[in-house]
């Protein structure tokens, strides 16, 4: 396949560079860019999909160590991760040379690699890929425990999407839709390809084939939907058949569709025959077509006349915000907005299933969860996000909702408890399933560390200052993937913090109620100081981005920042009140339960016997020592 891509690079020559007015860097560099992109992205897919394959098929022992079949996939992922790191590191230089329009040899001899990498967004993306892929490779080399393969999914998925969000999807009109779509598409395609490759190396057992096939069908369906959306956003009807980009896109779609139809047929007919390498080969062809598309400029971007709004937002904001526009100007986030809808639907399905079984579920938890999902949908898909990407004040409203308001209601929904009560437990002779995975994850050292009050406090407070009072915000606010990253980060850190204070779900070792209340009030001065500091600053946070965006109806960036600081200062009171009320209610209920239990034991004359029994155990313990 690499030879075929090299042949395509030779045949296309300098055409794809001339289309954008760039200099041709020479045939070796052009071939290296295409073949290197294919090799690195396929290696990343094999590694990420291998991790998913291990997580859903492993039968770890009581120490959490992988079984023999999963260990074979672990070895495959470990070796692929090494290739991933090396190829991504090489692509940093190759991409910088290609974007600069000079051969790799000339760039290396000139000593200007750092400058060229700094000027190339794609080269900087490859730097991120190399770093996170190196983390995956190093940890895979050091451990064979199941829980760490779950943890490695995070750096793995970041490395997979790092290049996808810096390519065509992150540019031009509607790039907010395209960026969110390409994140989901890249992950779905990587999981599908990696699982098919892993299934060739270590065919799943009979009791696991259907599970693997079900995940592949779901990944294929998601890849088809989001891939089709990307084609619509990056091409036009005329360019589908009359451009290399369009024809390659149709080829990739056809391969993915045929692969998915075969998987669906096998799933419906419950075919038990072992699969050959055909599916894996098909996904290699798919990634070759996608790589050939990725090194070209999308047709829509070639024919479009760019404005500042196209570059920085992807859409126009001709009028200032008001209540009506904040509620009605929807740009549905196909990543987080759809995630909110899916989370709400899954919760409702679980509650209905629980009630049909005859078990009760407190309606207050359902209301809290659905309200949190609705607020998440509004914060990420309504005019709040549309204007929040362009104005610091509205962005701060979005931040406070994601970090302090929405997590409170999601925590009160007790999703882990609901899942544990709804999901069936695996029988002794069956492989572990979602319920067992969830229990292992909740009680793992990683979860205990992240949910520890000190860790949660540092993440909750520290990230606020680390993002806004460092140059990090200048980078994140410039790109739509940066907005998505901030949304996910603030949502998770808020959830971890409030989980330790008012969480109903099992997991972290919580402080006494007095300690939780003290921890809650300890946060308030930090938020107040942040708000006051933002209100009194004379320098502008994110000045490069907001200055270049130059909204015609925003007269003063500094006044808008001061308004954002006031919002950060004043909007924290409502969620704090909700948390205090929830904490007091939980405290009162626990006292009532304890009093009831004590009275019941006293009425039954259990206290004296229990005290004598405990004293006996203490004496026995001393004697044994």
The answer as to whether 114 is a domain residue is yes
- In the numeric block, which tokens belong to residue 107? 């760039």
The answer as to whether 291 is a domain residue is yes
- 175 and 54 in one domain? yes
618, β-bridge pairs: none
Q: How confident is the model at residue 513 (pLDDT cuts 50, 70, 90)?
A: confident
pLDDT at 353 over 70: yes
Name the DSSP class of 430: S
pLDDT of 493 reads: 94
Percent of the chain with pLDDT over 70: 93
pLDDT of 215 reads: 94
Domain count, the chain: 2
Contact by Cβ (8 Å): 397, 403: no
Helix (H, G, I), strand (E, B) or coil at 100: helix
The predicted model gives 530-555 an average pLDDT of 90
Contact by Cβ (8 Å): 136, 159: yes
- 231 and 343 in one domain? no
The answer as to whether 308 is a domain residue is no
The answer as to whether 311 is a domain residue is no
- The 3 state secondary structure assigned to 563-579 is HHHHHHHHCCHHHHHHH
Identify the CATH number of the domain in which residue 55 sits: 1.20.1630
**CA R_g for the chain:** 27
- 251 and 365 in one domain? no
Q: What are the backbone dihedrals phi and psi of residue 111, each rounded to the nearest 5 degrees, phi first? A: 75, 15
Q: How confident is the model at residue 583 (pLDDT cuts 50, 70, 90)?
A: confident
Q: How confident is the model at residue 88 (pLDDT cuts 50, 70, 90)?
A: very high
Name the DSSP class of 314: S
Q: Which of 216-230, 266-280, 525-539 has the highest mean pLDDT?
A: 216-230
Task: Give the predicted TM-score (pTM) of the model.
Answer: 0.91
- 291 and 333 in one domain? no
pLDDT at 286 over 80: yes
Give helix 278-294 / helix 2-12 axis angle, nearest 10°: 30
Residues 359, 360, 365, 367, CA torsion sign: positive
pLDDT at 276 over 90: no
Residues 188, 190, 193, 195, CA torsion sign: negative
- 245 and 393 in one domain? no
Q: How confident is the model at residue 21 (pLDDT cuts 50, 70, 90)?
A: confident
Tell me the residue range of the domain where 572 lies: 328-424+433-600
- 528 and 464 in one domain? yes
Residues 539, 545, 548, 552, CA torsion sign: negative
Q: What is the full DSSP assignment across 487-530?
A: HHHHHHHHHHHHHHHH--SS-S-PPPHHHHHHHHHHHHHHHHHH
How far is it, in rounded angstroms, from Cα 371 to Cα 375? 6
**Helix residue ranges per DSSP H, 143-174:** 146-151, 153-164
pLDDT at 615 over 70: no
- 337 and 287 in one domain? no
């Amino acid at each position: 396949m690499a030879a075929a891509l090299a042949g395509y690079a030779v045949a296309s020559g300098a055409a794809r560079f001339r289309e954008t007015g760039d200099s041709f860097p020479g045939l070796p560099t052009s071939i290296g860019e295409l073949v290197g992109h294919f090799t690195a992205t396929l290696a990343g897919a094999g590694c990420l999909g291998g991790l998913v394959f291990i997580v859903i098929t492993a039968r770890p022992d009581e120490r959490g160590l992988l079984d023999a079949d999963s260990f074979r996939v672990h070895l495959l992922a470990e070796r692929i991760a090494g290739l991933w790191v090396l190829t991504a590191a090489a692509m940093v230089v190759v991409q910088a040379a290609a974007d600069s329009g000079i051969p790799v040899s000339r760039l290396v001899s000139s000593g200007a690699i750092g400058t060229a990498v700094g000027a190339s967004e794609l080269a900087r993306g490859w730097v991120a890929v190399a770093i996170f892929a190196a983390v995956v490779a190093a940890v895979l080399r050091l451990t064979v425990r199941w829980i760490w393969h779950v943890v490695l999914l995070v750096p793995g998925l970041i490395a997979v999407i790092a290049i996808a969000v810096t390519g065509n999807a992150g540019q031009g009109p509607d790039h907010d839709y395209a960026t969110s779509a390409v994140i989901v598409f890249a992950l779905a395609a990587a999981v599908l390809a990696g699982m098919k490759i892993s299934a060739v190396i270590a065919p799943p057992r009979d009791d696991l084939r259907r599970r693997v096939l079900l995940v592949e069908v779901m990944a294929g369906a998601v890849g088809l939907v989001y891939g089709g959306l990307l084609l619509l956003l990056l091409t036009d009807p005329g360019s589908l058949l009359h451009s290399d980009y369009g024809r390659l896109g149709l080829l990739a779609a056809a391969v993915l569709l045929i692969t998915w139809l075969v998987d669906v047929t096998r799933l419906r007919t419950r075919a038990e025959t072992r699969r050959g390498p055909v599916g894996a080969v098909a996904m290699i062809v798919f990634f070759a077509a996608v790589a050939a598309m990725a090194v070209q400029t999308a047709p829509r971007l070639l024919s479009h006349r760019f404005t500042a709004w196209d570059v920085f937002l992807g859409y126009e904001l001709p009028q200032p915000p008001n209540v009506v526009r904040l509620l009605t100007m929807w740009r549905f986030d196909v990543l987080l907005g759809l995630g909110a809808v899916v989370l709400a639907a899954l919760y409702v399905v679980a509650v209905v299933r629980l009630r049909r079984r005859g078990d009760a579920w407190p309606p207050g938890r359902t209301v809290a969860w659905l309200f949190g999902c609705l607020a998440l949908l509004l914060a990420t898909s309504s005019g709040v996000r549309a204007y929040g990407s362009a104005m610091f004040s509205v962005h701060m409203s979005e931040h406070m909702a994601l970090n302090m308001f929405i997590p409170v209601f999601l925590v009160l929904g007790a999703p882990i408890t609901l899942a544990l009560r709804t999901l069936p437990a695996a029988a002794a002779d069956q492989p572990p399933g979602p319920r067992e995975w969830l229990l292992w994850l909740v009680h793992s050292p990683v979860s205990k560390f992240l949910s520890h009050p000190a860790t949660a406090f540092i993440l909750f407070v520290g990230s606020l200052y680390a993002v806004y009072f460092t140059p990090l915000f200048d980078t994140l606010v410039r790109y739509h993937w940066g907005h998505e990253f901030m949304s996910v980060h603030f949502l998770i850190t808020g959830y971890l913090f409030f989980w330790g204070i008012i969480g109903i779900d099992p997991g972290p070792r919580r402080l006494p109620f007095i300690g939780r209340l003290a921890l809650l009030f300890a946060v308030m001065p930090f938020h107040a100081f942040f708000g006051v500091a933002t209100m009194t600053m004379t320098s502008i946070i994110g000045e490069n981005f907001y200055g270049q965006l130059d909204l015609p109806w925003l007269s003063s960036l500094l006044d808008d920042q001061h308004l954002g600081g006031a919002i950060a200062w004043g909007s924290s009171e409502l969620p704090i009140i909700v948390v205090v009320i929830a904490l007091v209610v939980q405290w009162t209920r626990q006292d009532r339960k304890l009093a009831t239990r004590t009275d019941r034991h006293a009425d039954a004359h259990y206290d004296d016997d229990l005290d004598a029994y405990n004293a006996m155990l203490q004496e026995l313990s001393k004697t044994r020592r």
